[in-house]
Amino acid sequence: MATATATEPRRARSASSSGTADNKKLWWSIANLIVLLYALIPVLWILSLSFKTADTVTDGNFIPRAWTLENYAQVFAIDLFTSALINSIGIAIISTVLAVVIGTMAAYAIARLDFPGKKVLVGISLLIAMFPQISLVSPLFNIERAVGLFDTWPGLILPYITFALPLSIYTLSAFFREIPWELEKAAQMDGATPLQAFRSVIVPLAAPGVFTTAILVFIFCWNDFLFAVSLTSTTRSQTATVAISQFTGASQFAEPTGSIAAAAVLLTIPIIIFVLFFQRRIVAGLTSGAVKG
């Protein structure tokens, strides 16, 4: 009898506690849904625009009444766009690789070594990130014309690296600080040369940070419009964002809405591929479990 009464309230309590857990889940789901909708509706809207025919493009329907691939065909019919896409991909990848490689070395030094002027270095790199880019456009324009970098790939890659470096140094040094560096010693005790220790222990642990940084830097370069529009002038180095801005309609007065939407959709595809490709390597909490716990 006594035990029966004792278990009753306990059961009731556990039922109510699982009830609150369900409630919590529900609220989280709703909150997530709102955020998702907020972020995705503009994207879906552009997707929808890109499939609409020229006469229905302004009808305000979310789901196109008449589907067409005309817009996409048009985008590729423009020579400018294809070459711009190649420029975009090339410039973004080269900038990303360089910014991440240099950033990795700088972040390693910041995370691991004690050298005079470390704080100043970090401060300056932060300063660069805060600097309004627009104020650099005309000086850069003049300089690049003078030294012959205007309208070339390096002419864009250089400023991209400058502005991507603070970002990459920051994210990378935050990641590097989390790596249990004692593992390097452990590997050496296990018979590894410093290089082997770095390759088989430190690199796998640093990789998620490097990939995350690479994604951020790539997106930054890929989406840039300001530098691209000011420091390029021909198909030699014009990037896709600039190309889109120069689309013209079928006639001088027609708005090229459909083809801009199609080009925008096309532009997001490389980013999605890039993120999906690297995300598989970013396993959160990879470094946990190395130490006591």
Partner 1 sequence: MADIVLDNVVKRYPDGTLGADHVNIEIADGEFIILVGPSGCGKSTTLNMIAGLEDISDGELRIAGERVNEKAPKDRDIAMVFQSYALYPHMTVRENMAFPLKLAKMDKAEIDKKVNDAAQILDLTQHLDRKPANMSGGQRQRVAMGRAIVRSPKAFLMDEPLSNLDAKLRVQMRTMVSKLQQRLETTTVYVTHDQTEAMTLGDRIVVMRGGVVQQIGSPQKLYDRPNNLFVAGFIGSPAMNFLPATLEDGVFRTSLGDLTLSDELRRNLEASDAPRELIVGIRPEHFEDAALVEEHQRPKGSVFTAEVDVLESMGSDKFAYFTVQGEQAMSDDLADLAADAGTADVPGGDAGTLTTRLSAASTATEGRSTEVWVDTSKIQVFDPNSGKNLTTREAAPVTA
- Report the C-alpha gap between 141 and 151 in whole angstroms: 10
C-beta closer to partner 1: residue 24 or 185? 185
Residues 282 and 211: beta-carbon distance below 8 Å: yes
Please report how close the Cβ of residue 182 comes to partner 1 at its closest, in angstroms. Answer: 5
Helix 79-112 to helix 153-178 angle, to the nearest 10 degrees?
Answer: 40
The secondary structure of 165-214, three-state, reads HHHHHHHHHHHHHHCCCHHHHHHHHCCCCHHHHHHHHHHHHHHHHHHHHH
Task: Choose, by CB under 8 A, the member of 1, 130, 189, 284 that binds partner 1.
Answer: 189
Please report how close the Cβ of residue 101 comes to partner 1 at its closest, in angstroms. Answer: 22
C-beta closer to partner 1: residue 1 or 195? 195
The stretch near partner 1 (CB under 8 A) out of 33-41, 118-126, 131-139, 197-205 is 197-205
DSSP one-letter code for 65:
S
Please report how close the Cβ of residue 200 comes to partner 1 at its closest, in angstroms. Answer: 8
Based on the shown chain and the rule CB under 8 A, indicate whether residue 42 belongs to the binding site for partner 1: no
Task: Choose, by CB under 8 A, the member of 78, 100, 205, 262 that binds partner 1.
Answer: 205
Based on the shown chain and the rule CB under 8 A, indicate whether residue 185 belongs to the binding site for partner 1: yes
The β-bridge partners of 67 are 52
Q: How many CB atoms lie within 10 A of CB 282?
A: 15
Based on the shown chain and the rule CB under 8 A, indicate whether residue 291 belongs to the binding site for partner 1: yes
Based on the shown chain and the rule CB under 8 A, indicate whether residue 204 belongs to the binding site for partner 1: yes
Task: Choose, by CB under 8 A, the member of 137, 186, 275, 282 that binds partner 1.
Answer: 186
Nearest CA to 278 out of 195, 215, 189 is that of: 215
**Residue that is written with structure tokens 């400023």 in the block:** 159
Residues 284 and 228: beta-carbon distance below 8 Å: no
Based on the shown chain and the rule CB under 8 A, indicate whether residue 287 belongs to the binding site for partner 1: yes
C-beta closer to partner 1: residue 183 or 266? 183
C-beta closer to partner 1: residue 22 or 114? 114
Based on the shown chain and the rule CB under 8 A, indicate whether residue 125 belongs to the binding site for partner 1: no
Phi, psi of 277 (to 5 degrees): -65, -45
C-beta closer to partner 1: residue 76 or 278? 278
| Site residues (vs partner 1, CB under 8 A) | 180, 182-183, 185-193, 196, 200-201, 204-205, 285-293
